[in-house]
Amino acid sequence: MNFNINRRQALTIGAGAMVAATAGFADIALADKKAADEAIAKFAGGKAPVAGKVKLDLPEIAENGNTVPMMVAVDSPMTAQSHVTEVLVLADGNPAPAVVKFHFSPASGVAEAATRIRLAKTQNIIAVAKMNDGSVFMGTKQVKVTIGGCGG
């Protein structure tokens, strides 16, 4: 095989690769509260999440949106009869609202998880918990971001 290409071919290949790489970002750039609401509806299976049982621990002001500490906990006995199966965390102002999904079982002992997230701007963080009986609970907290982390 011969991989010798001239400058014009290299520029054509590069331009084509750039178009292909950025083609999928048009939808991401348009993400907003509506996209977060749609993700919640899909995760909840059409059920309306009930406020309560879900606690979000985030700073009220994040000086840097690149790395914001977050902890989510769900009040549940975590027994075979009653436990959390999944928790979806969304940031309704990020280009892509879904941030992380945690999976739990009765063997987890507690329904708690901690991580660091990126936030593009001041926005609401939403945690939606799905229980083994199909019920869905939600908690929300606003975080004010002074320096954006997702291209902001």
pLDDT value of residue 99: 95
Which residue is associated with the tokens 């436990």?
83
- pTM for the complete prediction? 0.77
SS (H, E, C) 76-96: CCCCCCCCEEEEEEEECCCCC
Q: What is the CA radius of gyration of the chain?
A: 20
Cβ-contact 90, 3 below 8 angstroms: no
Q: What CATH number does domain 32-145 carry, 3.40.50.10490, 2.60.120.380, 2.60.40.2470, 1.20.120.1750?
A: 2.60.40.2470
pLDDT confidence band for 74 (50 / 70 / 90): very high
Average pLDDT, the chain: 86
pLDDT digits (tens, 9 = 90+) for 94-149: 989 999 999 999 999 999 999 999 998 999 999 999 999 999 999 999 999 987 66
Count how many Cα atoms sit within 13 Å of the Cα of residue 115 in the half-sphere of its side chain.
11
Locate the domains of the chain by residue range.
32-145
